[in-house]
Amino acid sequence: MGKVTYKSAGVDLDLYRQAMARIPQLLERTVTPRVINLPFGFAGLFRLDFPWPLFARNYKDPVLVACTDGVGTKLKVAAMMGIFNTVGIDLVAMSVNDALCCGAEPLFFLDYVAMPKDDPPLLEKLLEGIVNGCREADCALLGGETAILPDMYQPGDFDLAGFCVGVAEARAIITGQAITPGDAVLGLASSGLHSNGFSLVRKTVFDLAGLRVTDHVPELGTTVGEALLVPTRIYVRPIRSVLRYYRVKSVVHGIAHITGGGIRENLARIVPPGVRIVIDRDAWPVPPIFRWIQKLGETDDAEMENVFNLGLGMILVVSDYYAASIRKQLEDLGVPCWQIGRAEAADESGVVWAQSSA
């Protein structure tokens, strides 16, 4: 038996260094004036405020907001397609959209990539998506970790996790406690499935229906894989634009990111005592991909509502007086938006469906 080396155990340090050499040029695409250069440092450095008076935020009582999330089994679909430069966008979106729910400005992002062996081209593609997501979210990719774990992952497997840190003024933090009867509920369009429910999707599409990622779906006008891999919509710029527009007035009373658990469960997290939200399920068009999946799996309505966003990626609860203006602003920024319900007084708080008009 020969001598045991790290390489014989499954970790090739030369290949690892090749992979790491691809990263700096990608990180540079997200550098902002608040990033402090620290070559070969063990941590990333980030100024809370801008170093120039012209752009200074002049925070009075800043509060840091932190979020973490992953992409889930959507990664399996990416592997089946051999397309790896979009799931990084999903990774960023899942965390920065959560930070938005507090009214925060995302500042920087960190990633964690786990693989069974070093694969520089794969790592570069994954980071390309993460970088694109960070640029869309106006935050810096400050650093990350690439873990080579040959005994933890099978060949072809990999995993992603992400971490976002943002900031909000204490007086402007959005918690949902300001929601009052009469408030309007606005639903912002999702780009599709986003990154939730993929265990059910894969069971339905691949195991039950026996479809392949290359199969064309007439009702969707695309292939299975292309439909499933559409990246999660990042709402940072449009929602931050609305919040800046009403910098003095507090007109956005609650924000919910619609992820696993669906509309009712996620929206209920921000509803205060004495108020309930009534949602009209006919108020927005449910994208065809959800009807297609439901039909393939003969899945009932309740299960679909519990698992998927059904076409709404974010929900805002706003002062009724400003609802029309906010809708127009969002639509002008490229985000379709519908008034989907209203807040009303109730002994028991929560979220309920209105009586269907069908």
What's at 238, amino acid-wise? Answer: P
Confirm if 312 and 265 have CB atoms less than 8 A apart: no
Res. 357: pLDDT tops 60: no
Q: Are residues 307 and 194 in the same domain?
A: yes
Domain of 123 in residue numbering reads as 13-172
Using DSSP's 3-state secondary structure scheme, residue 3 falls into coil
In Å, what is the CA distance from 69 to each residue of 72, 161, 238? 9, 6, 22
Question: Is residue 5 a part of any domain in this protein?
Answer: no
The model's pTM is: 0.95
**Residue (of 213, 197, 204, 219) closest to 309 by Cα position:** 197
Backbone φ and ψ for 94, nearest 5 degrees, come out as -60, -35
- Statement to judge: residues 194 and 167 lie in one domain: no
H-helix or E-strand containing 91? helix 87-100
For β-strands 252-257 and 275-279, DSSP reports them as unpaired
pLDDT in tens, 264-281: 999 999 999 999 999 999
Say if 340 falls within a structural domain.
yes
CA angle 345, 347, 348 (to 5 degrees): 105
Query: Using CA atoms, how far apart are residues 37 and 26, in angstroms rounded to an integer?
Result: 15
* pLDDT > 60? residue 38: yes
Among residues 118, 147, 172, which one ends one of the domains?
A: 172
Q: What distance in Å separates the CA atoms of residue 11 and residue 149, rounded to the nearest whole number?
A: 8
Give percent of the chain above pLDDT 90: 85
Instruction: Establish if 3 belongs to a structural domain.
Output: no
Same domain? For 61 and 102 the reply is yes
> Is residue 2 assigned to a domain?
no
Q: Do 201 and 106 belong to one domain?
A: no
Same domain, 91 and 122: yes
The answer to the question of residue 309 being in a domain is yes
137 lies in some domain: yes
CATH number, domain with residue 72: 3.30.1330.10
Domain count across the chain: 2
Which residues 6+ apart lie within 8 Å of 47 measured at CB? 33, 34, 35, 36
Tell me the CATH number at 252: 3.90.650.10
Same domain, 218 and 155: no
Counting every residue written for the chain, the total comes to 358
Task: Write down the pLDDT at residue 358.
Answer: 45
Looking at the structure, do residues 161 and 198 belong to the same domain, yes or no? Answer: no
Burial environment of residue 166 by CB neighbours within 10 A (0 to 12, 13 to 18, 19 or more)? buried
Give the pLDDT band of residue 18 (cuts 50, 70, 90): confident
Report pLDDT digits (tens) over 293-348. 999 999 999 999 999 999 999 999 999 999 999 999 999 999 999 999 999 999 99
Q: Is residue 4 part of a domain?
A: no
Which of 137, 152, 172 is the last residue in one of the domains?
A: 172
Query: What pLDDT score was predicted for residue 13?
Result: 83
Same domain (yes/no): 267, 324? yes
Do 259 and 163 have their domain in common?
Answer: no
DSSP β-bridge partners for residue 256: 315
Last residue of a domain, one of 120, 139, 172: 172
Shared domain for 230 and 273, answered yes or no, is yes
Q: Write out pLDDT tens, residues 204-246.
A: 999 999 999 999 999 999 999 999 999 999 999 999 999 999 9
Task: Tell me whether residue 163 is in a domain.
Answer: yes
Torsion sign across C-alpha atoms 344, 347, 353, 357 = negative
Angle at 74 between CA 25 and CA 290, to 5 degrees: 130
* Closest to 296 (Cα-Cα) out of 224, 232, 231: 224
